[in-house]
Amino acid sequence: MANPNLTKGNHYFRNEQYKEAIEAYSKIDKNSTSYPYALFNIGECYFQQGNFIEAIKYYSQISDNHFSLYQSALFNCGSSFYNLNKYAEAIEMYSKIHKSSSYYQKAQHYLRECQFAAIDMADKVDKSKISGIEESFNLIAYILEEDTNFNILCLEEDTNFNILCLEEDTNFNILCLEEDTNCSILCLEEDTNFNILCLEEDTNCSILGENFDLMDVRE
């Protein structure tokens, strides 16, 4: 004889009264032979409502001691992961379905769908990362290229300006640096032409590893 709560839950489920169905299924005792079916059906209720995370929670509790129900749970669990765009997890579920199961052919189809979707997603992520890097370094690509002429005019007081690793043959001019400007140039490579004109009082200019010509430095 069928468990009355299972029968009641199934009635609610068929009428798409999922909240009432879950309440009925939840009353079934864990020691009852109907309990695995209650777990599966609760998972079905959540799946139909689009709550795939909760659906997975209940599908995954079903033991492989119940072969047919277990195979159904694997398939539906895989479909839940698929709907969450968690393709690796979906592939894992579909791969566990036995060849003798009635779900096997469907599982193989969706497994391939997941593989293609995972590749497509990875490709989009890679392109997005590359695009972001290109945008971030777009300005540097123009400024730090060979023979670039880079001018900074009228930097205000207390400006802290650091240039790291300018490449060879860069022409870099700083004009009209006002007082208390701290200008540090680190790792300038060979053949760099660096001119500082009209540095006003209290300018701190340190050059590491580079020949440096100072013109018209005021007291």
> For the chain (length 219 residues), average pLDDT per consecutive 10?
93 98 97 97 98 98 95 98 95 96 96 91 66 54 48 44 44 45 44 44 44 41
Give me the pLDDT at residue 2, please. 82
Distance CA 86, CA 121 (A): 11
Give me the pLDDT at residue 127, please. 60
Give me the pLDDT at residue 73, please. 98
Give me the pLDDT at residue 125, please. 67
Q: Give kind and range of the element (H or E) at residue 71.
A: helix 67-83
Give me the pLDDT at residue 25, please. 98
Residue 110 and residue 78 in contact, taking contact as beta carbons nearer than 8 Å: yes
Residue 152 and residue 175 in contact, taking contact as beta carbons nearer than 8 Å: yes
